Amino acid sequence: MPRAVATGSRTVILVEGYFDCVRVHQAGFPWVAALMGSSMSEMLQGLLLRHFEEVLLMLDGDPAGRAASQAIAARLSGRCSPAVLRVPDGTQPDQLPDWAIRLLLAAPEEIVPHSGLSE
C-alpha cells in the first residue's frame, strides 16, 4: 500500500496476493496493492478511502475472487468509485501476460454504481 500511495495516483488496483501485486507492477502499473487474501479489513478500507478516489478490483477468476470483488465493491460504493475487472475464469493476475493486464485495465467489464448496492 505505501508504494501505491507514493505514486500519487488517485486510482489503485487491488489484487489478492503478493505475486499478483508484483506481476501487475511489472506490467507497468505501480499503483497496485494486495489484500493478502480475499477480504478487506476495516483498516485497509480506511486507507483506500483516504488515499484513492477509484479502486479497481482485479481479484482472482474463481468463485472466492468473484464474491470478494462484489462484497468489497459494495462496501466502497458511494464512498469512492469501485470497478470490478473480470479476470478470466480459473486464472489469477499473476498468470496474465502484460497485454492481458492492460486490456483488463483499459475496459473494466463492470463498473459498480454508487447506488443500488447495500453494505
Architecture of the domain defined by 2-111: 3-Layer(aba) Sandwich (3.40)
Chain-centroid distance of CA 31 in Å reads 10
What are φ and ψ of residue 77, in 5° steps?
A: -55, 135
Chain-centroid distance of CA 98 in Å reads 16
pTM > 0.85: yes or no: yes
pLDDT digits (tens, 9 = 90+) for 54-103: 999 999 999 999 999 999 999 999 899 999 999 999 999 999 999 999 99
Buried b or exposed e, range 53-87, using 16+ CB within 10 angstroms = ebbbbbbbbbeebbebbbbbbebbbeebbbbbbbb
- Distance between CA atoms of residues 100 and 81, nearest Å: 22
Domain map (residue ranges) of the chain = 2-111
pLDDT digits (tens, 9 = 90+) for 12-54: 999 999 999 999 999 999 999 999 999 999 999 999 999 999 9
